Amino acid sequence: MDKAWMRIEDRLQSNEYAKGVRQFLAMAQANTPGSNHIRCPCRRCRNRSFYSIPTVEDHLFIIGIDPTYTERIFHGEDDPFLDATFSDEEADDASAYSDYIDDVDKMLDDIRHGSFMDNSARYEGNANPNYQPSTSYTPINLNLEELVADARHPLYPSCDKISKLSFIVKLLQIKSIGGWTVKSFDMVIKLLQAAFPNALFPDSYNDARRLQRGLGFSYKKIHVCLNDCALVWKENASLNECPKCNASRWTVCTSKQRRILQRVLRYFPLKPHLQRLFMSKKTAQAMRWHLEARVDDPTCMRHPADSSVWKDFDHKHERFSQDPRNVRLALASDRFNPFNNLSKPYSIWPVLLVPYNLPPWSCMKDPYTILSLLIPGPKSPGNDIDVFLCPLVDELKELWEAGIHTYDAYSGQMFRLHAALLWTINDFTAYANLSRWSTKGKMACSSYTVDTNSQWLVHGCKHCYMGHRRWLPPNHIWRWKKNSFNGYEEHRLQPSRVEGEELLEQLRGVSHVQLGKSSLKKKRTPNQLNWTKKSIFFELPYWLDLGLRHNLDVMHIEKNICDNLLGTLLNIDGKTKDSTNALGIWLILD
């Protein structure tokens, strides 16, 4: 569809603009059957509001369409960055089956380029996309040639649509989306083998996983001390006992009982995941979106790159921000019960990383979410989670300081990729574990520490956090209202955040705290405030400079806070918090 009409200013008099609006609305209505309401793409609504089609038409003529909305992903067009297939711009004459392999050849070609790291020939200098690596290079993926051979073989002799590799890829994708068990996957394979004896099906799920091993999808198992105080990792791997608690059961347990008690951490190296983001031309181009395609509109925040925290980080670390391909990450973690049964005391903590270089409609999607750690139960790691984060933090420090050689399929060049962790996203309980500031008691806010205004409620036996009028302008009328609040006027100014040297001074008071179940849990002294330990994230060179280190996730705020507030205001039976037994705790974090 021609989109030149979007830039026409004389909307009411132009026939081309009217024709473009009619075509756009017809496409949107065709992709929303059974509903008369669609997202409004005008300059004011920007696809955030739903209206009837006549109302949207009025907005498009009176206000005008958002000129940056060229990829109409909300009204029927495909998302170019989430397209499951890869475009094959140049035909491969040597391939006899280029019609049916679903562009798997292009994917393998990108992987092959990214699998050879010869700095003298490719690093930072070779911009020729047709460059062929020599045979002297050392491949990272040892099974890559086998995958290429599978991509050349048809699924069965007369098949002209699907290759053996394409079939395995799609079958594994269906297993993942459908939640198949390994046993059900093997049963389907046996049924297909009986029905199509001449087809090149894998023998089992383990045989199909050769694809994952060939592409480098693997993880490391790291055993943990029974007291959760250290990992059997790096310099500790050769020791016979725990260097923290001297536990004799430090080595890998053999008895069934100890095997259940000891945790085995699953660590997924971050570097290969970041390198794969640049192995596809489309994704590699999308990784520059935050700088090259984002509309810098100070009146609207569409992406974290529009925030003051992001811009302040770029200003403090100009060397990092000069290359838009350097990855900005967010860390999200929370516990869940994998058995969907609360009677089984077991919890798993997945630690996920989200790359923010991508557009806002892509960065939070499943294909780009990186699973970094999988912390098993049977109990939550709690404040000892820093022990399990050690491999990830070490890799983040290496990615910040040294980086890693990466092939950019979009430019056809090698470059040195760096990465930085901007903040964490979690609920209020996990916020305490990751920040190492206790969110209980009278100083529950880590930003203002001793300036947190709290009040002990005798009947509810809990703290309530008040004094929010301090954040109002000095001349606001509510500061002088007594009866509507606590009976007093509010003349105090907004407290200042604890940052810089003042924050480091507070953390020095808790630098000696040891992790693990075996360490003695002493009562905190007054100078330690609510700090339980200095967080492991402060080992990152840039962590202290961040303007925002921790975020509360939207789901908990919308569900817990808004539901409780509406239930109280509307006096909904069973949901109101207007009682002595269910007094709400309201804490404002900035």
Q: Give me the mean pLDDT over the 63-89 stretch.
A: 66
Residues 444 and 421 in one domain: no
State yes or no: pLDDT of 316 exceeds 50: yes
Q: Which residues pair with 39 in a beta bridge?
A: 50
Q: Give me the mean pLDDT over the 466-493 stretch.
A: 86
| Token duo for residue 576 | 């109101």
Residue partners of 357: CB distance under 8 A and separation at least 6: 286, 287, 288, 289, 290, 324, 325, 327, 328, 363
Q: Which of 193, 214, 235 marks a domain boundary?
A: 214
In this prediction, residue 248 carries a pLDDT of: 62
| 466 domain-assigned | yes
| 511 domain-assigned | yes
Residues 52 and 153 in one domain: no
State yes or no: pLDDT of 515 exceeds 80: no
In this prediction, residue 136 carries a pLDDT of: 30
Q: What is the pLDDT of residues 325-370, one digit of tens each?
A: 999 999 999 888 777 666 667 788 899 999 999 999 888 888 889 9
Residues 135 and 42 in one domain: no
Query: Among positive and negative, which fits the CA dihedral 11, 13, 15, 16?
Result: negative
* More reliable by pLDDT, 453 or 289: 289
Q: What is the pLDDT of residues 150-192, one digit of tens each?
A: 656 778 887 777 777 778 878 887 887 787 888 999 999 999 9
Q: Give me the mean pLDDT over the 47-67 stretch.
A: 88
- Arithmetic mean of pLDDT over the chain: 78
Q: Give me the mean pLDDT over the 484-503 stretch.
A: 84
Confidence of residue 259 (pLDDT cuts 50, 70, 90): very low
- With residues binned 3-state (H G I as helix, E B as strand, rest as coil), the percentages for the chain, rounded to 5, are 35, 15, 50
| 231 domain-assigned | no
| 421 domain-assigned | yes
Residues 156 and 22 in one domain: no
Q: What is the pLDDT of residues 425-467, one digit of tens each?
A: 988 888 888 888 888 888 888 788 888 888 887 766 778 888 8
In this prediction, residue 359 carries a pLDDT of: 92
Residues 353 and 460 in one domain: no
Instruction: Please report which helix (H) or strand (E) contains residue 354, including its range.
Output: strand 349-355
State yes or no: pLDDT of 582 exceeds 70: no
| 73 domain-assigned | no
Cis amide linkage into residue 526, ω under 30° from 0: no
Residue partners of 340: CB distance under 8 A and separation at least 6: none
In this prediction, residue 296 carries a pLDDT of: 83
Identify the CA nearest to 70 among candidates 62, 80, 60, 61. 80
Residues 563 and 529 in one domain: yes
| 587 domain-assigned | no
Residues 329 and 399 in one domain: yes
Q: What is the pLDDT of residues 385-404, one digit of tens each?
A: 999 999 999 999 999 999 99
In this prediction, residue 568 carries a pLDDT of: 83
Q: Specify whether the CB–CB gap between 472 and 479 falls below 8 A.
A: yes
Q: What is the pLDDT of residues 11-25, one digit of tens each?
A: 888 888 999 999 898
For residue 141, what are the domain limits? 104-214
Confidence of residue 79 (pLDDT cuts 50, 70, 90): low
Q: Specify whether the CB–CB gap between 126 and 408 falls below 8 A.
A: no
| 71 domain-assigned | no
Confidence of residue 87 (pLDDT cuts 50, 70, 90): very low
Residues 469 and 417 in one domain: no
State yes or no: pLDDT of 506 exceeds 90: no
Identity of the amino acid at 386: D
In this prediction, residue 138 carries a pLDDT of: 32
In this prediction, residue 340 carries a pLDDT of: 67
Number of domains in the chain: 4
Angle separating helix axes 104-115 and 144-152, nearest 10 degrees: 160
Q: What is the pLDDT of residues 195-253, one digit of tens each?
A: 988 888 888 888 887 766 666 667 888 888 888 888 888 888 777 778 777 776 555 55
State yes or no: pLDDT of 285 exceeds 70: yes
In this prediction, residue 584 carries a pLDDT of: 43
In this prediction, residue 337 carries a pLDDT of: 79
In this prediction, residue 140 carries a pLDDT of: 38
In this prediction, residue 90 carries a pLDDT of: 34
DSSP label of 560: I
In this prediction, residue 300 carries a pLDDT of: 84
| 98 domain-assigned | no
Residues 181 and 114 in one domain: yes
In this prediction, residue 532 carries a pLDDT of: 84
Residues 506 and 561 in one domain: yes
Max mean pLDDT among 123-137, 211-225, 490-504 falls in 490-504
Q: Which of 47, 62, 77 marks a domain boundary?
A: 62
* More reliable by pLDDT, 325 or 88: 325
| Token duo for residue 283 | 């994704």
Residues 314 and 413 in one domain: yes
Residues 381 and 317 in one domain: yes
Of the candidate ranges 42-56, 254-268, 272-286, 376-390, the one whose mean pLDDT is the lowest: 254-268
In this prediction, residue 115 carries a pLDDT of: 52
In this prediction, residue 28 carries a pLDDT of: 86
How remote is the C-alpha of 28 from its chain's centroid?
30
